[in-house]
Amino acid sequence: MDLLLILIILLTLGGLSIPAFDLLFTKYKNLASQIICISILTLSIFLLIIPVVNPNLLYTDFPSLFNFDYLGIFFSITVIIVVILVAISSISYQKDDENIAIYYSLLIFTTLGMILLSFSIDLLMIFVAWQLMSIPTFILTGFKKNSVLSNEAAVKFFILGAFSSGILLYGISLVYGLIGSTNLYDMVNFYSTLPNGLEPIAYLSIILLIAGLGLKMAIVPFHMWLPDALTGAPTPISALLSAATKKSAFIVAIRIFLLAIPISAIGLKMDLMLTISILALITMTVGNIAALTQKSIKRLLAYSSIAHAGYILIGLAVGTQIGLVGLLYHVFNHGIMTSAAFIAVAAILKQGFKDDVKELNGLGKIMPITAALFTILLLALAGVPPLNGFWSKFILFTAAVDSNLSWLAIAGVLNSAFSLGYYGWFIKRFYIDDPDLTNKTKIYEKSSFLVPLLIAVIIIVLTGLFPSIIYDFALKAVTSL
């Protein structure tokens, strides 16, 4: 029984059936779309858990295209949890949209693209999955058709997304020209013993692959699309872009740069480690400094997400087992934390507040439950123990020290401490600053926002108090490589 094939068929049929149900159930079409989407995503998680319980089911009928392993399962479960939180929060946020069925259908198709990326071991399959993930997000970003900001964000995102795909495809074409294959395992032997005269083209192919993936990961200097896209997109989609699609590039980077291309064999190991380390340092620093200067809530969280991409890069720069465990652990933690943070912002904006940090004044009195849950999310993002964000950062910084990159670990600790400035600024506004005269009345808080927030906070607290839950799974994913 090929569970990966079943999963692909399930998501494909789900994505296609939602618009069909929209035509059949005219009276309850919104409810039908929501139920189908959330049910299929939940069932997908159970399908992915089965091979974890029974490793004998870890195989696929397409071994030249996919590797059905624990690494892919880890990433897939992470992104599906994020999409479920997004789908639940969209029940209220998008309830008045007449194209709600298309909205949920696109959510499923972008999930399918991310899952295919998680298991792909062929560059062309990676590119196809990349497009399946990206194209729906371009549409979702501009889903608020009457919003100039949303339209602008979608156009910018599309142009830079197309640019990213073009760079990636150019790198893939060079790889195929060099070795006559796009399979990652066929790349190993060639890049281990480069024929004389082909080194410049081989190095260029590596640089293009790094640049193409770097745009999607929002690494400095390829990060400028993210704040605009997250600010203009519907806020639940901002959560999707920040917490899921941006993370999918990291698993591709792991498979390409730590498995397919043995950098040490072509004399670039130390140079590449230093290059990625510098990128990590610049990314986390620029993200945190820029976040501190923002007045828009969504834009601030966008720059915070860029800073966390820098933390995740530490694991890739180190490239050791403990470094990769920290990378996976922080991908999971940040995916839950940042998606829930944007959902909290969606709950606030849906009540008529503006996207301005001043609007958060007195939120603890106006929306007490949302403010309390949001506070826990911000503390987790800052890496305050015993919440889960602390443990993944601790593992990443420890891995850097073990790999003689103590300066990078110190930079990470200082950046984490620096980020407490703007996270604490939020919390101060919640509970210390007085609300505006027009915003002193307590507001009814909708369950469609509180449920995903509560789910996220429970995950954050449990995996913080019992870090071995995710650590052991991440370790199994790394050792499966």
> What pLDDT, in 10s, does the model give residues 336-357?
999 999 999 999 988 888 888 8
Give the 3-state secondary structure of residue 120: strand
Phi and psi torsions of 480, nearest 5°: -70, -15
Record the tokens describing residue 425, joined without a space: 């600024």
Which residue has tokens 């995710």?
Answer: 470
Give Cα 87 to chain centroid, integer Å.
15
Please give the share of the chain, as a percent, with pLDDT higher than 70.
94
More confident residue, 190 or 113: 113
Give the integer Cα–Cα distance in Å for 159 and 142.
13
Q: What local confidence, expressed as pLDDT, does residue 28 receive? A: 67
CB 70 within 8 A of CB 53: no
- What's the DSSP call for residue 263? G
Q: How many CB atoms lie within 10 A of CB 197?
A: 7
Give the integer Cα–Cα distance in Å for 22 and 215.
36
Phi and psi torsions of 163, nearest 5°: -60, -45
Task: Name the β-bridge partners of 66.
Answer: 120
Q: How many CB atoms lie within 10 A of CB 248?
A: 28
Q: Can you spell out the DSSP letters for 42-89?
A: HHHHHHHHHHHH-GGG---S-TTTB---HHHHHHHHHHHHHHHHHHHH
CB 389 within 8 A of CB 333: yes
In the predicted model, what is the mean pLDDT of residues 4-24? 87
Give the integer Cα–Cα distance in Å for 262 and 82.
32
Least confident window among 192-201, 223-232, 364-373, 415-424 = 192-201
Cβ burial 450-479 (10 Å sphere, 16+ → b, else e)? bebbebbbebbeebbeebeebbebbbbbbe
CA–CA distances in Å: residue 334 to residues 285, 299, 450:
17, 17, 19
Q: How many CA atoms lie within 13 A of 252 on its CB side?
A: 31
CB 338 within 8 A of CB 381: yes
Please give the helix or strand (H or E) that residue 129 lies within, else none: helix 123-141
Record the tokens describing residue 367, joined without a space: 């929306």
Q: What local confidence, expressed as pLDDT, does residue 189 receive? A: 73
Q: What's the whole-number average pLDDT of the chain?
A: 86
Q: What local confidence, expressed as pLDDT, does residue 195 receive? A: 67
* AA letter at 347: A
Sign of the CA dihedral with 309 first, then 376, 74, and 32 last: negative
Q: What local confidence, expressed as pLDDT, does residue 194 receive? A: 66
In the predicted model, what is the mean pLDDT of residues 137-162? 86
Give the integer Cα–Cα distance in Å for 5 and 15.
15
Task: Name the β-bridge partners of 122.
Answer: 183
Q: What local confidence, expressed as pLDDT, does residue 344 receive? A: 92
- What's the DSSP call for residue 66? B
Which residue has tokens 């004399």?
Answer: 267
Least confident window among 45-49, 97-101, 375-379 = 97-101
DSSP H helical ranges for 293-387: 297-318, 321-349, 363-366, 368-382
Q: What local confidence, expressed as pLDDT, does residue 53 receive? A: 86
CB 288 within 8 A of CB 213: no
Q: What local confidence, expressed as pLDDT, does residue 438 receive? A: 56
* AA letter at 234: P
Domain-wise residue ranges, the chain: 268-481
Give the integer Cα–Cα distance in Å for 463 and 191.
39
Confidence of residue 212 (pLDDT cuts 50, 70, 90): confident
CB 297 within 8 A of CB 356: yes
> How many residues make up the chain in this entry?
481
Q: What local confidence, expressed as pLDDT, does residue 372 receive? A: 93
CB 314 within 8 A of CB 397: yes
* AA letter at 126: I
CA–CA distances in Å: residue 140 to residues 36, 133, 150, 416, 458:
18, 11, 9, 32, 28
Give the integer Cα–Cα distance in Å for 163 and 173.
15
| All residues at 6 or more sequence positions from 189 whose CB lies less than 8 Å from its CB, including other chains | none
Confidence of residue 181 (pLDDT cuts 50, 70, 90): confident
Q: What angle do CA 55, 58, 64 make, to 5 degrees?
A: 160
> What pLDDT, in 10s, does the model give residues 252-264?
888 888 777 765 5
